[in-house]
Amino acid sequence: MAKSSLPGFDAIPFGRLYDWLDERVGVKEVVEFAKKKVVPEHSQSFWYYWGGMSIFFFTVQLVSGILLLVYYRPGEGAYDSVRQLVYEIDFGWLIRSVHSWAANLMVFSVFVHMFSTFFMKAYRGPREFGWWSGLGLLGMVTLFGFSGYLLPMDELAFFATKVGLEIPKNMPGMRPLIENIVQGGPDVSSVTIQRFFALHVVILPLMFLPLLTFHLWMVMKHGNAVPQSEELKPASQRRTVPFFPNFFIKDLAMWLIALNVLAILAAMYPWPLGVQADPLASAPEGIHPEWYFMNQFELLKILGRILPGMAGEIGGVLMFTLGGVLWGLVPLFDTSSKFGSRARIATWFGFMVIASLIALTVLGYYEVVVTKS
Amino acid sequence: MNYPVWDVPILGSAWVIGAIASFHVLVSHFAIGGGFYLPMAERKALREGRADWLEVIKSHSRFFMVLTAAFGTVTGVGIWFAIGLGSSEGTSTLIHNFVFGWAIEYTFFLIEVTSAMVYYYTWGRVSDRMHLTIGWIYAGSAWLSLVIINGILTFMLTPGSAWLAVAGTGEEASRFWQAFFNPTYFPSLLLRTCICITLAGIWAFITMSRIDGARQPQLKTDVMRWTAKWLIPSFVLLPLCFAWYLYSIPEASRGLLELGVKTMGQGVFTQVTRAALVTVITSATICVIVYLLAWRSALDFKFGHACALLLLAMAATASTEYTREMLRKPYVINQHMFSNGTRKSQVDAFNRDGYLTRSPWVRPEERALWQSGDSADPKVQAAHMARGELMFRGQCMSCHTVDGYRSMRRFLETRDRQAIGNILTVLHEYKDDSPYKKFMPPLTGLPEEITALGDYLNQLVHGADAKKAPAPAPVVPVPAAK
């Protein structure tokens, strides 16, 4: 068999195919470029997989979302179309389940990726734009989640969205804006589904994909950051592996494991479809948003108990906003690559954010359980 | 109901057994496969004069000894405690039938543990030939312990007609060998041997991944690739073994899987098919990952990758064992004893005389209250609920919990007293076309016992005011079971 110029693929037909393609489209140039890129190798390399993992789940979202579009009907028939998909169309339940589970796993991966990036100080110059574009992507991912949650229009989706939209509506001057533009009326209805559908499948992807491309370009341009313990080592002692094929193969293996987790969750715990939403009914006990919004929801509840009237909600929203702004401004605060006091403050700030998110989420779920029981 | 019920909230006793057993299988099968891995690796290293490789094998033998002798042993004893408490009737039957088998297994186990220790502590202290011989003694005794336990495990799914013919007569032990070499014995032995060989490779990656590839590139590449080859026999044979195994299991069990495959598209497929799918998916993933990482990128293979493989192996093992257990449904010993400990031969007697009639766990004064016709008396009412609870504990709790795994509250929360009564009636009648018959045992007992169970479940699900809130408690029509 002819020797291929693709390393490691000499003895298999794939090598010939590669050569055939290379002659026509110049695959070798791309491979050569990828081989020049290197990924640092050290005891914390595990965290480098999470960015790729997030993209993997996004790809699953894209494919399963397109398949869902075949049957989904936004508007009045939304619930019926999802019910038909789940109970009448072969493997419809699986596609919906994969889409929903992948959405949650993507949010989880993005969070892990963000915090690992934070603690590796990967926000420092010259990587500031990588950090800011990443935060933009995180914001859009949560918006994807929020807009997609309503689409089945079952009881839980309806009331969770209603509760979620009430929060910004209570901000001074925001009610007309939310009702006219987002909600399409005074209450959540089939018009809201159409708007959320447009947001979910057109507007957000159109914004997300260019930003993702920019984010990846930043990673390619500046490479991976390393933990401070690695920075201290002389260059001769730092290890790297070529992105292609070494790191790419490991990435593939991690994606395969991620696919396993997704397949097990989707097959063993199919995403449920509740009863059809009845706008005239009262909200079920313990209604709450998805887990990634639970911390904000709980903070609002706590402040609502402490502060009078609308002050709790306004205070809560101001706190998230301030927290988000501070989180985004960290690259301008912790700029030094040495171990200064600002670096330590930023690290402690990161730990505090994680601890608060976890504590508020756990407390939120605890209250839900107590309310239901 | 000869034994007390082990109440494990949320998890349920079945999951305690399952969790311990999954870990035990993962370690004990490694103990068998690893028994072959060590002397074979040592022989190869000696033949090729690879002192560096021998060092790695020695290090692996220490890890092997600690893991198998400590964790394997502790979890093995843990299974005994768990099955003794969680499935007392079934365990009692197995002991009465296989006590001799267990004695043989224990003998091999003693040789196994002793030789594992001798193997590790004699590195460099005895001749190479002697050391290898000790390794082979270990391998042989470990595999023979599988040969024995496999007979007992497979018996539960396929006890065989010879044993079933004498079941319940007190002469079951006279059919020891027929029960031992039952219809699924040989396919299961081959299947498990393949799994042992695979797990030997996967566990070996834990040790091999810690070799510094930058310092010893040749050593790491060689041992990683040699270890990866341990997955090849399984890759080829496992599908064939699995097909043979499926061919040997009872038609009803195969039917459960077939039903699951047929209804997969609608998403209502059986739990056993879901678990079998997990086995297939995770096993295939292990093969691909071993090829991509251990074979193609041996030098980049790290401890984390080895742990990820081990987790996948754990998922594969747990789902395989779960599938095996589920295939027996609704029996714990096929065609003899139901999963709640009721023997098939006892069903008529329980329906005629009462499930709790001979139970040693009922106080005489409680029985007297059951006989009282004064339903307005709070004491009689409390005793009625206690009777229902005893029925629940005896007949439901081996598989169901109140709030956790297979939660009764969740199953029944949308049903009123009438609907609960209807389900109990269907379970009691146990007709051939009953949708529950494939995986649930019959509900046995007198009509008033079943009514008490219905009232208890209604109260459990809908709270103390259950009698006021949902539909009034009906008089459940309970025809005699066939």
Q: What is the mean pLDDT of each run of 10 residues along chain A (373 residues)?
A: 51 72 86 85 89 96 95 93 92 93 97 96 92 97 95 93 87 88 90 95 96 94 88 85 87 91 89 90 84 92 86 87 94 82 92 96 92 75
CA distance B315 to chain A (A): 10
CA distance B292 to chain A (A): 6
CA distance B339 to chain A (A): 22
* pLDDT classification of B1: cutoffs 50, 70, 90: low
C-alpha closest to that of A268 among B434, B435, B317, B315: B315
CATH (residue range A45-116+123-284): 1.20.810.10
Nearest to B278 among A92, A257, A268 (CB): A268
Question: A93 and B267 in contact by Cβ < 8 A?
Answer: yes
CA distance B217 to chain A (A): 14
pLDDT of residue B469: 42
Cβ–Cβ under 8 Å, residues B182 and B160 = yes
Exposure string for B212-233, b = 16+ CB within 10 A, e = fewer: ebeebeebbbbbbebbbebbee
Nearest to A260 among B285, B300, B304 (CB): B285
Question: B305 and A253 in contact by Cβ < 8 A?
Answer: yes
Phi, psi of A269 (to 5 degrees): -130, 70
pLDDT of residue B481: 38
Tens of pLDDT, residue by residue over B400-438, are 999 888 899 989 988 999 999 999 999 999 999 888 888
Q: Which residues pair with B331 in a beta bridge?
A: B338
What ipTM did this prediction achieve? 0.71
Give the total residue count for chain A. 373
Domain boundaries, given as residue ranges, for chain A: 1-36, 45-116+123-284, 285-373
- For A41, name the nearest residue in chain B, comparing CA atoms only: B300
pLDDT of residue B475: 39
CA distance B79 to chain A (A): 26
3-state secondary structure of B460: helix
**Amino acid (one-letter) located at B251:** E
Terminal-residue alpha carbon distance, chain B: 21
Tens of pLDDT, residue by residue over B10-42, are 889 988 998 999 889 999 999 999 999 999 999
Nearest to B265 among A45, A91, A246 (CB): A91
User: pLDDT exceeding 70 applies to what percent of chain B?
Assistant: 95
Sort out which chain A residues have CB atoms less than 8 A from B304's CB and list them.
Answer: 46
Cβ–Cβ under 8 Å, residues B475 and B451 = yes
Rounded Cα gap, residues B256 and B246, in angstroms: 11
* pLDDT classification of B258: cutoffs 50, 70, 90: confident
Tokens, residue A155 = 């009881």
A275 contacts chain B (CB < 8 A): no
B442-450: average pLDDT = 95
- For A248, name the nearest residue in chain B, comparing CA atoms only: B292
pLDDT of residue A159: 92
* pLDDT classification of B168: cutoffs 50, 70, 90: confident
Nearest to B277 among A41, A249, A267 (CB): A267
Sort out which chain A residues have CB atoms less than 8 A from B278's CB and list them.
Answer: 263-264, 267-268
pLDDT of residue B471: 43
3-state secondary structure of B313: helix
B240-250: average pLDDT = 91
Rounded Cα gap, residues A293 and A296, in angstroms: 6
Which CATH entry fits the domain spanning B344-467: 1.10.760, 2.60.40, 3.30.2420, 1.10.10?
Answer: 1.10.760
Residue B203 half-sphere exposure toward CB, CA atoms < 13 A: 32
- For A94, name the nearest residue in chain B, comparing CA atoms only: B267
| CB contacts < 8 A (A, B) | 67
CA distance B209 to chain A (A): 13
Rounded Cα gap, residues B443 and B388, in angstroms: 13
Question: A267 and B278 in contact by Cβ < 8 A?
Answer: yes
Sort out which chain B residues have CB atoms less than 8 A from A254's CB and list them.
Answer: 308
Tokens, residue A204 = 């957000």
Question: A253 and B293 in contact by Cβ < 8 A?
Answer: yes
Cβ–Cβ under 8 Å, residues B33 and B199 = yes
Sort out which chain B residues have CB atoms less than 8 A from A155's CB and list them.
Answer: none
* pLDDT classification of B257: cutoffs 50, 70, 90: confident
Rounded Cα gap, residues B264 and B269, in angstroms: 5
Question: A267 and B292 in contact by Cβ < 8 A?
Answer: no
Sort out which chain B residues have CB atoms less than 8 A from A245's CB and list them.
Answer: 296-297
Written as one string, the DSSP assignment of A134-203 is HHHHHHHHHHHHHHHHHTT-BHHHHHHHHHHHHHHHTSTTTHHHIIIIIISSSS--HHHHHHHHHIIIII
B283-290: average pLDDT = 92
Cβ–Cβ under 8 Å, residues B91 and B84 = yes
Written as one string, the DSSP assignment of B50-112 is -HHHHHHHHHHHHHHHIIIIIIIHHHHHHHHHHHHHHSHHHHHHHHHHHHHHHHHHHHHHHHH
What is the residue-averaged pLDDT of chain B? 89
Written as one string, the DSSP assignment of A257-278 is HHHHHHHHHHHHSPPP--PBP-
Nearest to B312 among A87, A93, A260 (CB): A260
Tokens, residue B171 = 């002469």
Report helix angle B88-121 to B13-48, nearest 10.
20
Question: A253 and B266 in contact by Cβ < 8 A?
Answer: no
Nearest to B285 among A93, A250, A256 (CB): A256
